[in-house]
Structure 1
Amino acid sequence: KYKDVEPTLKIKEVDGLELVKKFSEQMESMLHRKVEAVERLVEAAEDADLNHEYNSSLEFDYYNSFLINDKDENDNYVELGDEFVLEPNEHFNNLLVNTTYSDIQLPTNVYNKDPDILNGVYMSEALNPIFVDNFERDPTLTWQYFGSSTGFFRLYPGIKWLPDENGVISFDCRNRGWYIQAATSPKDIVIIVDVSGSMKGLRMTIAKHTIITILDTLGENDFVNIIAYNDYVHFIEPCFKGILVQADRDNREHFKQLVDELQAKGVGTVNKALTESFKILREVRENAGQGGLCNQAIMLITDGAVEDYEAVFEKYNWPDRKVRVFTYLIGREVTFAPKVKWIACNNKGYYTQISTLADVQENVMEYLHVLSRPMVINHDHDIIWTEAYMDSALFASQAQSLLLMTTVAMPVFSKKNETRSHGILLGVVGSDVPLRELLKLAPRYKLGVHGYAFLNTNNGYILSHPDLRPLYKEGKKLKPKPNYNSVDLSEVEWEDQDEILRTAMINGETGYLSMDVKVPVDKGKRVLFLTNDYFFTDISGTPFSLGVVLSRGHGEYILLGNTSVEEGLHDLLQPDLSLANEWIYCITDIDPDHRKLSQLEAVIRFLTGEEPDLECDEELVQEVLFDAVVTAPMEAYWTTLALNMSMETEAGVEMAFMGTRAGLMRSALYVGSEKISNR
């Protein structure tokens, strides 16, 4: 059969650079649609705030996601828990959702009838029609949300929020990476903690919790160090003496362990610690390319016995005040409050007193609002993209499959004239983008055997890669590995010894290189020695780069068959044929009417014109038609073999099958299906 069609065949050489650029443009276009959706929400939120007049006695019922559909003993809906229609939706992992309305989540420690909350929720009702309109314009959108600086979280589509095993809702949108990154620019932080004898007991516990909470507000674009002081100054990690380190997950976890070991003793002298901090920050400022290159701050955590500090500020920070100083007074003692407050107020910072562990979270978050003020006053609506993450906290109690995703987020500012100069951040708007949706735009069939695509960030971390295995099994449960989202490109492409590929991709360059690689197959039982060509480029408008790998001898050429639809359809309809259901021949997961179709059914309906609005990959469909025609004689061949086969000579043969590069599979049973051994 192949000989019959050979004259019509074309063999096309794959241009890897052209391929990676084409994929990148498609990804840029998809991600740009997400950005446009978020921009519409930001505009709607700022306009709604501009037209809303604060009312301290406002009474307003809203859908509280924890209380919806709950009834009291008299079978009446509880307050804030009215009827809220929820239906399973395949697009949202079969969760029960309401696609016509958003609802409101609040952490347990935020009062749901607080006037600030009521006014914010009332104002943000204006986002509902925008959520729905965005989803209609771009049906590939997933979760859209508004996280308010007052603590409420408006989520679309609306869901029923379930508490954790202790009956508590601990999720606070203001602690999430996407909120913090959008609310502030990159920052260099030195945390100074008082470990003198007066800090013993509860004060030390509160101080440690405060440091850990500050560390949790930092991300990949921030730089940090921690200095402890009593009679002398010491960096809690001696290897990091005199420098700032990237606040990635590994460094943050390392710092947390060291903080936990701190002990209080001796007498506190703050001026040496301040001097050391200002020197580090000045060095980072003066050496371009180091640090976050934006905000700089010192966090001073003490119980208040501070002296001899004024001369340090005069020498290192005044009059420009390039470094903000935030002070956290630990304990109930107020004697030293004026001094500690003076330090913050004279260095463009913020003073707060923390007397219990419950106060820590709320008081630490205040520094973010101060650091966001320059952005607010300048109205810098920076678009941020997060590193890959699995928000298991968001739907821990729901049947959410753990998907790697990135979030696009933007800050929302007050545009009111009377508060504009104060720089008021209203919150952050965001939307999630599952990374698997992005990689659908770089289909495997175009990359040949052993070919693959991968994504990484401008910090060198992997967003998506076939060798990134972020989950492990604990009993029957799948859980994320501790550092799943800070795996460096050099850890998976380890043949890149000189980091040529890594450096080029971090810098957003376009180019290619070749490497000899060892590829394990059959679950590590065998190793292949291959030469891989790496093609890479940036995805414009994002901090991401895309890489495409083609294996020599496998992904260099494409066979283009020229088969008529009539001939191909005839052979596609044979009962022994199937298509790889995980491949995307036609898009069936957006239109609800198409979701019930298998990929083979979708292809047939597309070719017969039954579903003209189906969107299909015509190049892949053409390849499948060609493969169906060329492999059609196998059915007759296998039947002849089966008829001539004697039980003695061919004992043990149960099934014959073949697969093609276009995902087509043909099979023939040699025994009854009940006798298949499933080996």
Structure 2
Amino acid sequence: IIKIVDIDGRDQVRDFAEDMERMLGSKMKSVKVSTEFDYYNSMLVNTADEDGNFIELGGEFPLEKNEHFNNLPVNTMQSDVQVPTNVYNKDAYILNGIYWSEALNDVFMNNFQKDPTLTWQYFGSSSGFFRIYPGIKWTPDSNGVAAFDCRNRNWYIQAATSPKDIIIVVDISGSMKGLKMTIAKHTINTILDTLGENDFVNVIAYTDYVRYVEPCFKGTLVQADLDNREHFKVLVDELHVKGEGKVAKAMKESFKILNEGQGSLCNQAIMLITDGAMEDFKDVFEEFNWPDRRVRLFTYLIGREMTFADNTKWIACNNKGYYTHISTLADVQENVMEYLHVLSRPMVINHNHDIIWTEAYMDTVLFATKAQSLLLMTTVAMPVFSKKKETLSHGILLGVVGSDIPLLEVMKLAPRYRLGPHGYAFLITNNGYILAHPDLRPLYKEGKTLKPKPNYNSVDLAEVEWEDIDETLRTAMVKGEMGTLSLNVRASVDKAKRPLFLTNDYFYTTINDTPFSFGMVLTRGHGQLMFMGTVSVEEGKFPHSTATGHSLCLSSAPTYCETDIDPHHRKYSQLQAVIRYLQGKEPDLECDEVLLQQTLFDAVVTAPLESYWQAIMLNASGMEVGVETAFLGTRSGLIRLTRYTGIETRVAKKFLTPADKDNLFTVDHFPLWYRLAMENPPGRFVYYIPVEDKDNRDKTGTIPIIPSLVPDQFELSWQCLLVSLYDYQGMCRSGHSHSSSARPLLSVSHVFQYFLTMKKALFAETFAMSHKAKRTDALQPCDTEYPGFMLDNSIKETNSLLKCGRCQKMFVVQAVPDSNLVLMVVQADCDCSRQYSSITLEPKEVKYNASVKCNRMKSQKVRRRPKSCHAYHPKENAKDCGGASEISLSVALFLASLATSLALRRWT
């Protein structure tokens, strides 16, 4: 039975979204369970001393490689704990927290047994320790330091607090010179690092007048996305001290901004960073903040002087904030984190276990352990808090529990075979940022190393679907609407070397109980139809390969059968799983019956090709010289192929091998040769030259570039359409200033700074100078434009002359019948290089003037605010508002930190 089925985009997008809701809902249930609940230190497990004995906290901890966890050696019977270097791992408070959190072991294991598709589960404590399941051997960074602190991670911060509007007010008067200013700048940067895409921010500096660090942002709040945060850091690094400090004007300006009703409209706070506040602020607070005290004030007293400590503390305590004293760089991290715990109080008192979902990110922990396959993830997380009645008003946050969900697994619920060769599915956040999209390119290549782009998780949908000029699609999806939209698009394929003109139908809806929206694209023509056939299982059974050398393989991209649910099935490839399921050997396998039926049908109707290829092989006179491989691909991901030459003599050695990702069916795309063939009329041959990476000398083909063809004359003669294509995820090389990126090491190496400040100020100033901005020539995110050429197939032949000074260059262009080839003959004895520049396909950076840059940075795109907000509770105990901080370190930790700092100083 054979039939052509029309695809109803509205029904299909709804079905896909419901599948995703069920999957993501099961992950939320696991996280909820995890909130109702002598240790292994992951840095020290399986570590022995010189005598061969296990060191303290590092006992024997069995580890086995597990394919489900990226082949990382793990212990699925036990979680273990990581403690940052700047936290003493045997502190009584830490040990007590680790002891009671031991109960999470059974919860994590039970979650994994109920849902074997779960990946990492973890608990991040407010005191700093991090419990992870399954247990791993934690690998320190290149400096031998455990810089990872779970409290700095976005999933922790988002779960611990509601969205927030933050005004950072910094004193740049003359008294702040030297080390004080260095500490102040680091404090600002640390606060900025605690903000995310749901937060809003501005930075104001003051002396005897108010100065916006970025004049473009005067009188407003801007979204705290990565680009704006990094922009603030660069400007903060350029601040210089002068004059007398008068903070009252800056306070009034901050209150006015927050009263404008912009930003998140949830938590509001002013962060005052100063070495002393001498003025009387009572009138300011009475005018703007009392009696409701809706705006919290957090004060950070900088330096060793305590003369103005009482006044600075009074400001925080009378405005439901928190006061901290930061005398050294080592104090910054812990003291800044205190404000998050204050903001969490209303949520904790309400006992609201709000579930949050993060934007896309790469797990840098696994990346550091070399077990990361560079997959994007999202985290589902929720807060854990004390329920003791006697501490209820204090709103004590115990920590955050979470679990990672690979976005690749989510997108498998919208399989490509149901979307057609040019169709695709995508996910975005409530802020319009992309979670998953086939055109999202989170990595860039520097030399031979792949690295994450700095802004890979803040790419806006409008920057990928850039044909949607009015942002109609983006606006509707961000608002959580369901609907359709049609657009004529210029799609770039083959690594942006070839443009395709397509008409796309977009279908979109929201995913309930998450901040995400789901979109799906069907291309007019082949994308709207599905060819369905029915055959029996007996007819469809097929071998992996035959004695004649023919091969049949299934793509690993579509999930024909789910092999990840039962650990027993994980050893099977997709082809093995399909065959065993069809043979009745694994009836418990969960398989996609529609895809299997389509694959079986494809296998049956293409089976005669084997005898045809065999006949050609046996008839040597019928063989064309140079033919190496014959192959056929179908929409279901099935490929049949035969090799006519051995690997030794084959020119295209990589073609259609497992390493040839570009020419195989993958999760992200159909092969380019398949897509190009689908866009050509029946009976027309498509010639395609796969070009391997430049680093690989075994070329399977080359693309010649003919210089000195002038766009306007060539277009008139041959009707070659020159189109502009854009890449808003480009990386350009340009010198710029930036602050040291070694922020994670500050909490360790700056213990040495603390020691030096007690000994001699000269050393402290020298150390602080090492953190000043440095000139670099690194690749940085940018926008680029590049040309694309499309041929008018109605023109079969033409010729023309180009005048080049004293000579003329003649060229003739003729279409090769029944193909996508063009024959071009160019006169070689006339040099036109002086008159006409070469045409290249190289991208060029798009430069913006200051006005355009300003508008782009402060523009507020349509966004959907998170549903929950916990900014106020009448039972909150505002008297817990901080005090002077002192460093308390054990001798062992101090000496270890000192040694590390000395080593770092020696290396730099």
- TM value normalised by structure 1: 0.94
User: What letter corresponds to residue 469 of structure 1 in structure 2?
Assistant: R
Residue 333 of structure 1 corresponds to: 305
Residue 552 of structure 1 corresponds to: 524
Residue 604 (structure 1) aligned with residue 579 (structure 2): yes
Residue 165 (structure 1) aligned with residue 142 (structure 2): yes
Residue 433 (structure 1) aligned with residue 426 (structure 2): no
Residue 631 (structure 1) aligned with residue 606 (structure 2): yes
Residue 346 (structure 1) aligned with residue 323 (structure 2): no
Residue 33 of structure 1 corresponds to: 26
Q: Which runs of 4+ in 1 moved over 4 A?
A: 570-575
Residue 542 of structure 1 corresponds to: 514
1:662 Cα deviation after fit: 1.0
Residue 10 of structure 2 corresponds to: 17
User: What letter corresponds to residue 202 of structure 2 in structure 1?
Assistant: N
CA offsets 1:108-145 (integer angstroms, 9 cap, x no match)? 11111111101100000110000000001001100000
Residue 217 of structure 1 corresponds to: 194
2:471 alignment partner, one of 499, 502, 526: 499
The CA distance in 1 between the partners of 2:178 and 2:647, in whole Å, is 71
Secondary structure of the residue that 1:88 maps to in structure 2? strand
- Is this contact kept in 2: 1:571–1:629, CA < 8 A? no
1:543 Cα deviation after fit: 0.3
Secondary structure of the residue that 2:42 maps to in structure 1? coil
User: What letter corresponds to residue 597 of structure 1 in structure 2?
Assistant: Y
Residue 363 (structure 1) aligned with residue 364 (structure 2): no
- Is this contact kept in 1: 2:366–2:372, CA < 8 A? no
Residue 407 of structure 1 corresponds to: 379
- Is this contact kept in 2: 1:571–1:628, CA < 8 A? no
- Is this contact kept in 1: 2:168–2:270, CA < 8 A? yes
Residue 621 of structure 1 corresponds to: 596
The CA distance in 2 between the partners of 1:598 and 1:81, in whole Å, is 37
2:74 alignment partner, one of 78, 83, 97: 97
State which drifts further: 661-670 or 365-374. 661-670
State which drifts further: 157-166 or 433-442. 157-166
Residue 418 of structure 2 corresponds to: 446
User: What letter corresponds to residue 23 of structure 2 in structure 1?
Assistant: M
The CA distance in 1 between the partners of 2:508 and 2:542, in whole Å, is 41
Structure 2: stretches of 5+ with no match in the other structure: 653-699, 701-908
CA offsets 1:34-60 (integer angstroms, 9 cap, x no match)? 10000000121xxxxxxxxxxxxxxxx
The CA distance in 2 between the partners of 1:193 and 1:589, in whole Å, is 53
Residue 625 of structure 2 corresponds to: 651
State how 1:74-223 maps to structure 2 within 5 Å. Answer: 74-223=51-200
Secondary structure of the residue that 2:609 maps to in structure 1? helix
CA offsets 1:270-295 (integer angstroms, 9 cap, x no match)? 100000001111112xxxxx311211
**CA 564–196 in structure 1, closer or farther in 2 if over 3 Å, else same:** same
**CA 572–103 in structure 1, closer or farther in 2 if over 3 Å, else same:** closer
User: What letter corresponds to residue 5 of structure 2 in structure 1?
Assistant: K
- Is this contact kept in 2: 1:64–1:105, CA < 8 A? yes
CA offsets 1:386-435 (integer angstroms, 9 cap, x no match)? 00011214541332222211100100010011111211000000000110
User: What letter corresponds to residue 88 of structure 2 in structure 1?
Assistant: Y
User: What letter corresponds to residue 343 of structure 1 in structure 2?
Assistant: I
1:373 Cα deviation after fit: 0.4
1:573 Cα deviation after fit: 6.8
Secondary structure of the residue that 2:431 maps to in structure 1? coil
1:454 Cα deviation after fit: 0.6
Residue 520 (structure 1) aligned with residue 492 (structure 2): yes
1:571 Cα deviation after fit: 7.2
- Is this contact kept in 2: 1:268–1:306, CA < 8 A? no
User: What letter corresponds to residue 530 of structure 1 in structure 2?
Assistant: L
Residue 564 of structure 1 corresponds to: 536
1:640 Cα deviation after fit: 2.2
The CA distance in 1 between the partners of 2:312 and 2:283, in whole Å, is 15
Secondary structure of the residue that 2:168 maps to in structure 1? strand
The CA distance in 2 between the partners of 1:325 and 1:613, in whole Å, is 59
1:524 Cα deviation after fit: 2.8
Residue 232 of structure 1 corresponds to: 209
**CA 450–133 in structure 1, closer or farther in 2 if over 3 Å, else same:** same
The CA distance in 1 between the partners of 2:493 and 2:201, in whole Å, is 41
Name which one, 1 or 2, has greater alpha-carbon Rg.
2
Residue 580 of structure 1 corresponds to: 555
Residue 448 of structure 2 corresponds to: 476
Residue 675 (structure 1) aligned with residue 649 (structure 2): yes
The CA distance in 2 between the partners of 1:668 and 1:380, in whole Å, is 61
State how 1:189-338 maps to structure 2 within 5 Å. Answer: 189-284=166-261, 290-338=262-310
Residue 47 of structure 1 corresponds to: none
**CA 504–520 in structure 1, closer or farther in 2 if over 3 Å, else same:** same
The CA distance in 2 between the partners of 1:268 and 1:337, in whole Å, is 16
**CA 394–215 in structure 1, closer or farther in 2 if over 3 Å, else same:** farther
- Is this contact kept in 2: 1:392–1:402, CA < 8 A? no
**CA 74–523 in structure 1, closer or farther in 2 if over 3 Å, else same:** closer
CA offsets 1:511-538 (integer angstroms, 9 cap, x no match)? 1100001112233332211100000001
User: What letter corresponds to residue 514 of structure 2 in structure 1?
Assistant: T
2:394 alignment partner, one of 401, 410, 422: 422
1:593 Cα deviation after fit: 2.8
User: What letter corresponds to residue 546 of structure 1 in structure 2?
Assistant: F
Residue 390 (structure 1) aligned with residue 356 (structure 2): no
Secondary structure of the residue that 1:421 maps to in structure 2? helix
**CA 337–659 in structure 1, closer or farther in 2 if over 3 Å, else same:** same
1:238 Cα deviation after fit: 0.4
The CA distance in 1 between the partners of 2:339 and 2:120, in whole Å, is 28
- Is this contact kept in 2: 1:304–1:337, CA < 8 A? yes
CA offsets 1:141-160 (integer angstroms, 9 cap, x no match)? 00000000011000001111
1:318 Cα deviation after fit: 0.8
1:11 Cα deviation after fit: 1.6
Secondary structure of the residue that 2:527 maps to in structure 1? coil
**CA 247–328 in structure 1, closer or farther in 2 if over 3 Å, else same:** same
1:672 Cα deviation after fit: 4.1
**CA 457–64 in structure 1, closer or farther in 2 if over 3 Å, else same:** same
1:551 Cα deviation after fit: 0.5
The CA distance in 2 between the partners of 1:175 and 1:337, in whole Å, is 27
1:633 Cα deviation after fit: 1.1
- TM value normalised by structure 2: 0.71
Secondary structure of the residue that 2:541 maps to in structure 1? helix
The CA distance in 2 between the partners of 1:667 and 1:397, in whole Å, is 38
Residue 615 of structure 2 corresponds to: 640
Secondary structure of the residue that 2:600 maps to in structure 1? helix
User: What letter corresponds to residue 206 of structure 1 in structure 2?
Assistant: I
Secondary structure of the residue that 1:66 maps to in structure 2? coil
User: What letter corresponds to residue 573 of structure 2 in structure 1?
Assistant: S
1:476 Cα deviation after fit: 2.4
1:10 Cα deviation after fit: 1.7
